[in-house]
Structure 1
Amino acid sequence: MASIERTAYPRFKRCFTPKELIEIYTPTPAEIAFGLSTTQGQIHFLNLMVLLKAFQRLGYFPQVADIPKSLVNHIRNSLHLPSDISVGYEQSRTMYRHRAAIREYLKVTQFNQSARHLAVTTVYKSASVMDNPADLINVAIDELIHHRYELPGFNTLDRLVRRVRNLVNQKLFLLVISRLNQEYIERLDNLLKSHSVHLRSPYNDLKQLPNRPTRNHLNDLLTHLIWLDSFGEVKPYLESITSAKIQHFAAEAKALDAAELKDIGQPKRITLLLCLIYSAQVQARDNLVSMFLKRMRTIHNKAKEELEELRQKHLETTEKLVGVFTNVLQVFVDESTDTEVITQVQNVFTPAGGVEQLLHECEAVNAYSGNNYLPLIWKFYKSHRSAFFRLINALKFAATSQDETLIKALDFLLLNAHRRGEWLPATVDLSFASAQWQRLVFGRVESPKKMIRRHFEVCVFSYLAVELRSGDICVLSSADYADYREQLLSWSECQPLVSQYCQNLGFSDTASGFVEQLKSWLIDTAASVDAGYPDNRTVVINELGEPVLKRPKSSEVSPSVKALSAVIAERMPERNLIDILKNVDYWTNFTRHFGPLSGSDPKLERATERYLLTTFAYGCNLGPTQAARHMRGIVTPRELSFVNRRHVSAEKLNAALIDVINRYNVLSLPKLWGDGTSAAADGTKYDLYEQNLLSEYHIRYGGYGGIAYHHVADSYVALFSHFIPCGTWEAVYIIDGLLKNQSDIQPSKIHADTQGQSTPVFALSYLLGIKLMPRIRNWQDLIFYRPDKETVYQHIDSLFKDSIDWAKIATHWHDLLRVVLSIQTGKISSSILLRKLGNYSRKNRLYQAFQELGRVVRTVFLLQYISDMQLRQQITAVTNKVEAYHGFAKWFFFGGEGVIANNDPTEQEKIIKYNDLIANAVVFHNTVDLTEVLRQLQREGYLLMRSDVAALSPYLTSQIKRFGDYLIDLDVVPQVLDEEMVLTF
């Protein structure tokens, strides 16, 4: 049975606030008139009005005994009826007559055979796309309400959904297994049998995680992919199953062990195995490409380091040669005869080693001048040669543009993989390579008829890495490195959406109109800044044309704020983390999202208790073993691990976070800290062990780890988070976090630091209606673009170094809209797209169009940034909040010496989200406690200033206990919160 807690099936709340009772459950004059005309007597009148208001809220008639007393009392008082009148029916026919009257009054049809058929049809269609029973129940509820049908009992809906879902899935399972021969089925079943030597089943190999990116691990991963590919092309067997259901089935299989999978019926078992194999094949290809890219980056970095070492070695040689040349010049300065000159020059050369030695040293210095490290790459590449050739044999590459020169060079490379000689015939087009590479590949041959084999290989693999990053080359049957164009909506699909989308954002729906708007925006902004420059005391353009911003005076904390903070610190009640989680769950019920992947009710004793203890164990990084040791035997490590593995996913954690955020957003105190229209994004490093693909060495922080990239609202609550490699450009995820944030707080402005900006990010943000306003270090180094070459400004002209190519934006206007509408409709992730657009591409016209649009948007922002002190202060204030959140969240991450011990990227992401859930729960609880303390101070006559309260922060930890025994008592319930917990000033 599906859990009613995880569905949208309407139910009464545990408690009602006065505001809710007044706004939702107070009968209107028309409703009162309907009640009086339908009933006789005060008891029947009250019964009818209670049923009416309950039905309006729920969409079905609850049992009279289940209607909360507070609701009945409110309706009775609103109708001015005596307090001794109670609800209840002595005769059932009276109740049925009242129900019929209410249906007729509200024009709602009783749940009947037509409604059942509608629900069955709707669920049948949806079950081919989604699999979670709770989601299917929600679809049925929406459709019944849309057609104004009364909702049936939850058990009726649950049975209907389970029956239809089972029917759809069984048809899919039988269809899949009918495509397989018996030999293949037996091979899949053999995966679940334990090996006699290794004492483990091959099924575990399907879940194999990639290790850190080394040459040996690259070979291991290649071997793993070859084994996975030995199962053949799996996708045709799953042709009738949508991608969403394949992912769901693969996740379900991954959460099970071999023994648990054996207990499932064969059709479903085989389908789950195939989905897991297909998912593993795709993931292995992505991991291979990622490892290849990291190895190529390492090889290039080592070559650069080698060049620097050579420069240091040749520094003395260079100084020696300069000294010799100086002495030679001095000879020519002196007026001597020719014979004397030759003798004196020879006297200069001899002590330095002679002419031939000096000539050799000059050639060596020239070879490593000009920052050319390319000749040195071979030394570090050659040990990887075999693995790289195996890789390009194992993967299938394709060009995403009409330029296939690199693909042809790759084919030529494969044909000549057996060659060991110095030269290769120059029969391949090297136009994809830079002039520097071409000079290296062709050597000093006057007519390029031959290529140096070693440098040609390095050149091709280097550019393969470049074009995989930029998306100019894709990998077939992969995910992260697939052809992103195939994920975009076609223009015919976009056309019906263009007009409304442009209208919503205030854009013109034609290319010429859109460009004209942009041009006017840039012209007007630049003219305004130029005109206001004489009166702007915060920016000065020096003699070199460089802008210099004056720092604002740092605002000190006022004595009244310090005094208020001290009083609050004394009065804040002491809490332990588990009690905080328990109380916040009581107020929000966030644990309702946790449960089996099947969507059924959890078959756990004390499920809520187990979920809260698991959240604590993983969110504080204690892990199940350490946490269980301090819980006095109320739970075992295996039970905590089981809940995390089988009942909690990243998606469920996101849903739990949304519940906490939404309830927090109703409180009045956070409104003083921020209105939710802006957020800041920033990353902080969490330590990892080295033995995984995500872990990288971070130069700035030191040590191996990954980046937790948080989006934090101006009201201090964290909205969304990603866990990404240290080497990733953080700007890739800045938009993704806002789009994936499904809470009630929807910022329209996003702030970040230097890592959170680039011209494509500015462009995409603008097209999505998001104002990107980062705090950029060394912003003076960025180029300002003028509207056209002829435009000249009186005061700020020296800022501009180039002009905008408006024709490029107009030409690719359709392409820009295809991208933004594809992201808006969920066809493609903005992070996938920005990973491609974040890398320079001479082939990708879409990249060039985004870059040009981004130049316009960023120039406007930079002009506003230098001319508006208040804007700079706002950006600093919000970005300071996300930086403060990093320290606050890590304060709760005290277990395991702060190192994430799990090497599974999925589990790493979950641990960060567990930590966010704890941090947000504490923010919520601190805000509740702060409100109570402030109310108490007001009752005692303490004069509260709005500005002083606005200067407070919910990031308080001094009153929180982290250590000791971790006990939980769900029978002790916290205070009942009123809806907004309003403060008056």
Structure 2
Amino acid sequence: MKKLKQVRALAVPTDAFARIGPQVIDAWRARAAASSPSHLRRFSSEVRHVLLAALVFRREREITDTLVELLNSTVHRINARAEKKVTEHFVAEFTRVRAKSGLLGKIAAASLGSPEGTVRDVVYPAAGGEKTLKDLVAELKATNAEFARSKREVFKSSYSNHYRRGLMDLLGVLQFCSSNDRHKPVIDALKLIERQKDSSTTYLPLGETIPLEGVVRKDWMEFALHTPDKGPRRVIRTVYEACVFQALRDRLRCKEIWVVGADRWRNPDEDLPDDFETRRAEYYDKLNKPRDAKVFTAQLQAEMRAELGALDTALPKLPWVTIGARQRGGAIKCTEPEPQPEPKNLRKLKKAIQKKWGTVPLIDILKEAALRTPMLKALAPVGTREAVDEAKLLERLLLIAYAYGTNSGIRAVAAGGHGHTEEELRYTARRYLTAPGLKGAQVAVANATFAARSEAIWGQGTTTVASDSTHFKAWDRNIFTQWHSRYGGRGILVYWHVEKGSMAIHSQHLTCTASEVAAAIEGMVRHATAMKAEGNYVDSHGQSEIGFGLTRLLGYDLLPRIKQINTVKLYRPGREDEDTYDRLADAMTRPIRWDVIENNYDQLIKYATAIRVGTASTEAILRRFTRTASHPVYQAMLEVGRAQKTIFVARYLRDRDLQREIQEGLNVVEGWNGANDVLFFGKSGELASNRRDQQEQSILALHLLQAALVYVNTLMIQDMLADPEWAGRLTDEDRRALTPLFWMHIQPYGEVRLNMSSRLQLSAPTNPEPAPAAA
């Protein structure tokens, strides 16, 4: 908050960069951040002011976003802490009385045997004493209502004793707004509790207008209100404040309430393209969608009928899938595909490669990729003039990429035998190592790999990629570090998009609470490589009904492995199909509401266009489409997603080859994640920096290292298979499992020795223009 106040004191106008693209602003900001104060003083006043204004403009939005996320996580932390504490208490109460069914049986038998006796004489002895019955009564009181009541009490206590001051301070620096009058009560409630933040009274003043509807949930109303024997009803101040912050978090997360001066939490109206009305026809054509909503729904309805009909007809002949009402856990039962035969010659091939080229240092793999591809051209400086010799610059860029990509750090790399000091490497890193530059280098290596592949070995180019996340540990002192329940540790997530040939075409740095559905869509839209991606294999976490809806609008197939497919429901194409699919009846539910889609079709295209052209991130769009949102397009997007999901599930259950294809694609991502553990070895694989940009640079550098490894291994495999000794040795199983992502011949550790005159003997042509970087 102190940083935000300092930045705001500089008073950069909010519309200073209104007509300038975000990439230009980011370039100016990077140039200012990389320059020392003495360098900035050498610029003319006009240039200096623009660069510093861009830096302040971006920092203000970053800090605001961080504070909003801090507010959300704090309210969530209070709730999670209360639930954990109450759960532990109730578990202890439940375990206090053992063998309850036997105990109740004894009491019943004793009561029937002596119906005229007293409780003390008959029931107490049968129960084992009065204490046992008291414990049993205490346990029976642990109902859902009691649990919720206790949780609210702990929440209020935790908020009042520890978190209140910090949350109130956040209200003092963040300005909340809403474009929907429905949420005005929450805005008014925020102003009220801010006015009363210094109060020490138990109740809010009688003279204040206190919004309750839309602010205090029904299950909290009794807890927040006090009705005395005499006098008016009063609102308990601390309970009301806790309710307001919960309501604020719910509406912030779906962007019904937004924050002035933020970027990710800005006004959602700014996420949409402002020229949609004038370029509507062009945007429809770019998405390859009909302008008539009824034509769109008719196409979707026809596909549903075709896939459901095909599954209904083929079901008796499919031994791996059954659909029935009496099946345990759900109507659908689908067995896993049988294992594929093991390849026999791939281990021998890898040993032959190691014998021919020996154990290759990882830095030499990166060097070879740099000399054979234009990857280092993408690492342009943030400034305009550089006086570093090109040969020295090439070496420094390789060493820096290795330092970040292995997580060993510049200090450790500077100690190697190459003649570059730590100060020189750090200076070059500040000037050249940027996220856009690293992404451009990755794209260059990926495109070079696609161009170098032999179709006789790798087959025709694929149009599908698999995507999944992996967890990277980060030091606890980092405020961006979050606990991930699935991985059981603190850190960040990295989301990869990897094609069949083990080349990652996109990577993203995410928090542990980020949406994997949004990350999957973002990578398909923004990968920037020469590959034409038309399908995306994802795990269960990367799919949802909203995800199916968006991918349908964006024009590619979402192909997930659904973990609990037995519980999936198939939607009917229309009311006239009530009795059409008899064999699928137990797994079917209501018809799709086509009128909802048609009424909001233009808005659906508008949101899909916002993602395609990049006026907003996919995560920002998906925030509006959550179960707590009241956005009118939400239901329409859900209906599109339900229809598309029905089409996919019907096809998936029927097609065994598709099931294997998805499984094989996800196995490729797992292999990529396995390489992370080998190459990212520095500091035990933990991210030490508490700066988000440096974390992102480390992950992008790792991506570049692994892409270089795949590129060089591809050339090695092709050279080896061109040897007459290997002609015709690979079986179909070998070719199916052939991958260029292996590292048994790589030496990632040890002293870094960079020798530019030493080259790997590969028959593939060297890139004719290996210039290091644009000056």
Q: Match for residue 831 of structure 1?
A: 619
Work out whether residues 572 and 930 of structure 1, in 8 Å CA contact, stay in contact via their aligned partners in 2: no
Tell me how far apart the structure 2 counterparts of residues 422 and 366 of structure 1 sit (CA, whole Å): 28
Q: CA deviation at 1:270?
A: 2.7
Work out whether residues 885 and 955 of structure 1, in 8 Å CA contact, stay in contact via their aligned partners in 2: yes
Tell me how far apart the structure 2 counterparts of residues 496 and 364 of structure 1 sit (CA, whole Å): 60
Structure 2 residue identity aligned to 1:799: A
Work out whether residues 785 and 804 of structure 1, in 8 Å CA contact, stay in contact via their aligned partners in 2: yes
Work out whether residues 90 and 142 of structure 2, in 8 Å CA contact, stay in contact via their aligned partners in 1: no
Of 949-958 and 289-298, the range deviating more from structure 2: 949-958
Q: CA deviation at 1:357?
A: 11
Tell me how far apart the structure 2 counterparts of residues 980 and 872 of structure 1 sit (CA, whole Å): 40
TM-score (norm: length of structure 2): 0.89
2:533 corresponds to 1:754: no
Tell me how far apart the structure 2 counterparts of residues 821 and 730 of structure 1 sit (CA, whole Å): 20
- Per-residue CA deviation, residues 425-466 of structure 1 (Å, 9 max, x unaligned), is 584132355432334333688999433333221111012112
Please state whether the residue corresponding to 2:278 is helix, strand or coil.
Answer: helix
Q: CA deviation at 1:735?
A: 1.1
Q: Match for residue 520 of structure 2?
A: 734
- Per-residue CA deviation, residues 279-310 of structure 1 (Å, 9 max, x unaligned), is 22111110001111111221111111011112
Work out whether residues 687 and 704 of structure 1, in 8 Å CA contact, stay in contact via their aligned partners in 2: yes
Q: Match for residue 773 of structure 2?
A: none
Tell me how far apart the structure 1 counterparts of residues 534 and 178 of structure 2 sit (CA, whole Å): 37
User: For residues 889-900 of structure 1, what are the structure 2 equivalents within 5 Å?
Assistant: 889-900=676-687
Q: CA deviation at 1:890?
A: 3.0
Work out whether residues 86 and 147 of structure 2, in 8 Å CA contact, stay in contact via their aligned partners in 1: no
Q: Match for residue 465 of structure 2?
A: 679
User: For residues 480-519 of structure 1, what are the structure 2 equivalents within 5 Å?
Assistant: 480-490=264-274, 491-501=276-286, 504=288, 507-519=289-301
- Per-residue CA deviation, residues 525-548 of structure 1 (Å, 9 max, x unaligned), is 112111110111111234336222
Structure 2 residue identity aligned to 1:752: V
Tell me how far apart the structure 1 counterparts of residues 590 and 654 of structure 2 sit (CA, whole Å): 20
Q: CA deviation at 1:920?
A: 0.8
Work out whether residues 253 and 261 of structure 1, in 8 Å CA contact, stay in contact via their aligned partners in 2: yes
Higher relative CO (CA 8 A, sep ≥ 6), structure 1 or 2?
2
Q: Match for residue 848 of structure 1?
A: 635
Structure 2 residue identity aligned to 1:521: E
Work out whether residues 304 and 573 of structure 2, in 8 Å CA contact, stay in contact via their aligned partners in 1: yes
Work out whether residues 417 and 753 of structure 2, in 8 Å CA contact, stay in contact via their aligned partners in 1: yes
Please state whether the residue corresponding to 1:457 is helix, strand or coil.
Answer: helix
Aligned partner of 1:275 among 54, 59, 65: 54
2:442 corresponds to 1:660: no
User: For residues 37-186 of structure 1, what are the structure 2 equivalents within 5 Å?
Assistant: none
Structure 2 residue identity aligned to 1:826: G
Q: Match for residue 382 of structure 2?
A: 597
Tell me how far apart the structure 2 counterparts of residues 608 and 369 of structure 1 sit (CA, whole Å): 64
Please state whether the residue corresponding to 1:373 is helix, strand or coil.
Answer: helix
Q: Match for residue 741 of structure 2?
A: 955
CA RMSD of aligned residues (A): 3.3
For these two proteins, the number of residue pairs brought into alignment is 753
Tell me how far apart the structure 1 counterparts of residues 24 and 99 of structure 2 sit (CA, whole Å): 71
With over 3 angstroms needed to count, the CA separation of the structure-2 counterparts of 1:269 and 1:599, relative to structure 1, is closer
Of 732-741 and 957-966, the range deviating more from structure 2: 957-966
Q: Match for residue 262 of structure 1?
A: 41
2:161 corresponds to 1:379: no
With over 3 angstroms needed to count, the CA separation of the structure-2 counterparts of 1:358 and 1:455, relative to structure 1, is farther
With over 3 angstroms needed to count, the CA separation of the structure-2 counterparts of 1:336 and 1:583, relative to structure 1, is closer
Work out whether residues 710 and 720 of structure 1, in 8 Å CA contact, stay in contact via their aligned partners in 2: yes
2:586 corresponds to 1:798: yes
Aligned partner of 1:646 among 424, 431, 440: 431
Tell me how far apart the structure 2 counterparts of residues 340 and 403 of structure 1 sit (CA, whole Å): 60
Tell me how far apart the structure 2 counterparts of residues 356 and 922 of structure 1 sit (CA, whole Å): 68
Q: CA deviation at 1:621?
A: 1.4
Tell me how far apart the structure 2 counterparts of residues 563 and 896 of structure 1 sit (CA, whole Å): 34
Q: Which has the larger radius of gyration?
A: 1
Q: CA deviation at 1:651?
A: 0.3
Q: Match for residue 721 of structure 1?
A: 507
Tell me how far apart the structure 1 counterparts of residues 28 and 175 of structure 2 sit (CA, whole Å): 26
Tell me how far apart the structure 2 counterparts of residues 271 and 487 of structure 1 sit (CA, whole Å): 25
2:323 corresponds to 1:541: yes
With over 3 angstroms needed to count, the CA separation of the structure-2 counterparts of 1:422 and 1:350, relative to structure 1, is farther
Work out whether residues 441 and 451 of structure 1, in 8 Å CA contact, stay in contact via their aligned partners in 2: yes
Q: CA deviation at 1:354?
A: 12
Structure 1 residue identity aligned to 2:239: H
- Per-residue CA deviation, residues 739-771 of structure 1 (Å, 9 max, x unaligned), is 111111121100111111111111111111111
Q: Percent identity?
A: 24
User: For residues 559-570 of structure 1, what are the structure 2 equivalents within 5 Å?
Assistant: 559-560=344-345, 564=349, 567-570=352-355
Tell me how far apart the structure 2 counterparts of residues 702 and 735 of structure 1 sit (CA, whole Å): 26
Q: CA deviation at 1:655?
A: 0.9
Tell me how far apart the structure 2 counterparts of residues 797 and 968 of structure 1 sit (CA, whole Å): 67
Of 868-877 and 425-434, the range deviating more from structure 2: 425-434
Aligned partner of 2:481 among 695, 716, 725: 695
Q: CA deviation at 1:613?
A: 1.6
With over 3 angstroms needed to count, the CA separation of the structure-2 counterparts of 1:463 and 1:964, relative to structure 1, is same
Please state whether the residue corresponding to 1:472 is helix, strand or coil.
Answer: coil
Structure 2 residue identity aligned to 1:895: G
Q: CA deviation at 1:343?
A: 8.1
Of 848-857 and 435-444, the range deviating more from structure 2: 435-444
Of 827-836 and 704-713, the range deviating more from structure 2: 827-836
Work out whether residues 332 and 565 of structure 2, in 8 Å CA contact, stay in contact via their aligned partners in 1: no
With over 3 angstroms needed to count, the CA separation of the structure-2 counterparts of 1:496 and 1:445, relative to structure 1, is farther
Q: CA deviation at 1:371?
A: 8.5
Q: CA deviation at 1:674?
A: 6.3
Structure 1 residue identity aligned to 2:741: Y
User: For residues 525-536 of structure 1, what are the structure 2 equivalents within 5 Å?
Assistant: 525-536=307-318
Tell me how far apart the structure 2 counterparts of residues 297 and 750 of structure 1 sit (CA, whole Å): 32
Structure 2 residue identity aligned to 1:408: D
With over 3 angstroms needed to count, the CA separation of the structure-2 counterparts of 1:974 and 1:600, relative to structure 1, is farther
Tell me how far apart the structure 2 counterparts of residues 712 and 445 of structure 1 sit (CA, whole Å): 65
User: For residues 78-477 of structure 1, what are the structure 2 equivalents within 5 Å?
Assistant: 222-232=1-11, 234-236=13-15, 243-315=22-94, 333=112, 336=115, 352=130, 368-369=146-147, 373-382=151-160, 383-404=162-183, 405-424=185-204, 427-431=210-214, 433-442=216-225, 449-477=233-261
TM-score (norm: length of structure 1): 0.71
Work out whether residues 673 and 714 of structure 1, in 8 Å CA contact, stay in contact via their aligned partners in 2: no
With over 3 angstroms needed to count, the CA separation of the structure-2 counterparts of 1:243 and 1:651, relative to structure 1, is closer
- Per-residue CA deviation, residues 707-762 of structure 1 (Å, 9 max, x unaligned), is 12111011211101011112323222111112111111121100111111111111
Work out whether residues 546 and 780 of structure 1, in 8 Å CA contact, stay in contact via their aligned partners in 2: yes
Q: Structure 2: where are the runs of 5+ without partners? A: 768-775
Q: Match for residue 770 of structure 2?
A: none
With over 3 angstroms needed to count, the CA separation of the structure-2 counterparts of 1:488 and 1:941, relative to structure 1, is closer
Q: Match for residue 627 of structure 1?
A: 413
Tell me how far apart the structure 2 counterparts of residues 733 and 710 of structure 1 sit (CA, whole Å): 9
2:599 corresponds to 1:811: yes
Work out whether residues 252 and 597 of structure 1, in 8 Å CA contact, stay in contact via their aligned partners in 2: yes
Q: CA deviation at 1:663?
A: 1.0
Structure 2 residue identity aligned to 1:526: L
User: For residues 775-786 of structure 1, what are the structure 2 equivalents within 5 Å?
Assistant: 775-786=561-572
With over 3 angstroms needed to count, the CA separation of the structure-2 counterparts of 1:321 and 1:646, relative to structure 1, is same
Tell me how far apart the structure 2 counterparts of residues 888 and 360 of structure 1 sit (CA, whole Å): 54
With over 3 angstroms needed to count, the CA separation of the structure-2 counterparts of 1:868 and 1:449, relative to structure 1, is farther
